[in-house]
Amino acid sequence: SQTIHQWPATLVQPVGSPLSLECTVEGTSNPNLYWYRQAAGRGLQLLFYSVGIGQISSEVPQNLSASRPQDRQFILSSKKLLLSDSGFYLCAWSERDGTEAFFGQGTRLTVV
Amino acid sequence: AQSVTQLGSHVSVSEGALVLLRCNYSSSVPPYLFWYVQYPNQGLQLLLKYTSAATLVKGINGFEAEFKKSETSFHLTKPSAHMRDAAEYFCAVSESGAGSYQLTFGKGTKLSVIP
């Protein structure tokens, strides 16, 4: 069966520090991968999605970037965090022709 | 672009009462529609999905939803609420772009169940 791993679960980082969140998927090949951010009362915002290695589409211009160095690995990064980057970050995957997404357990990021 | 509107950011029901969470969507093509549930500090779990088959969709934990094209709605219901149903619920619609299915989510409805 397919599983998705996302880490760390919680993170407290100072303003201006770098960020790296990692997500890996097991049990499937060539998945679509997604990064979402969830802010209180604002639902889920799609940040990036990827349909293959090295292929990243950005939905919202911001202080973050994403990379897909391997088929089942998706990384969310920032060179310098802002207070507004605080939130709950969710990684997700779907099959190439799938209709639903499967989510990781999320990372609670607090920028102080 | 597709969009989803969830009416009511907070809904409270008594244990054993009917649960009704409202979702309306806009789409220029026949949509795929989903309901997800999120417990505190966890990821989202799929409750049910509509993919152009039966309009009444049954999901996990006793939930069901009915697709009504004329009303552009996909409301979530459960006949009798349990304490364990207290969570946040998200309605979502999918659209196809660049080889991927992208989910567009509503802002969520937090369900409280009163004992």
Could you tell me the pLDDT band of residue B99, with boundaries at 50, 70 and 90?
Answer: low
Asked whether B96 and B28 are in contact (CB, 8 A), the reply is no
The set of residues, in sequence order, having a beta carbon less than 8 Å from that of B97 and lying 6+ positions away, is none
Whether residue B31 lies within 8 A of chain A, CB to CB, comes out as no
Interface membership of B51 toward A (CB under 8 Å): yes
Q: Any idea what the Cα angle at residue A74 is, between residues B88 and A35, rounded to 5°?
A: 30
Is the Cβ of B40 closer than 8 Å to some Cβ of chain A? no
The distance of B68 to chain A (nearest Cα, Å) reads 19
Is pLDDT above 80 for B102? no
User: What kind and span of H or E run contains B105?
Assistant: strand B100-105
Instruction: Compute the average pLDDT of residues B3-12.
Output: 94
Residues in chain A with pLDDT values less than 70: 41, 61
Residues of chain A with C-beta less than 8 angstroms from the C-beta of B9 = 41
- Residues B50-97 have pLDDT tens digits of 987 789 999 999 999 999 999 999 999 999 999 999 999 999 998 765
To 5 degrees, how large is the angle CA B52–CA B55–CA B61?
A: 105
Interface of A with B (CB under 8 A): 6, 9, 32, 34, 41-44, 46, 49, 51, 57, 88, 90, 92, 94, 96, 98-106, 108
**For residue B30, is pLDDT > 90?**
no
pLDDT at A91: 96
Cβ distance A100 to B98 less than 8 Å, yes or no, reads no
How far A112 CA lies from chain B's nearest CA (Å)? Answer: 19
Q: In 3-state terms, what secondary structure has residue A91?
A: strand
Residue-wise pLDDT tens digits, A16-31: 999 999 999 999 999 9
Token pair listed for B68: 């009504």
Rounded to whole angstroms, the Cα distance separating A61 from A64 reads 8
Residue by residue, DSSP assigns B31-65 as PEEEEEEE-TTS-EEEEEEE-SS-SEEE-GGG-EE
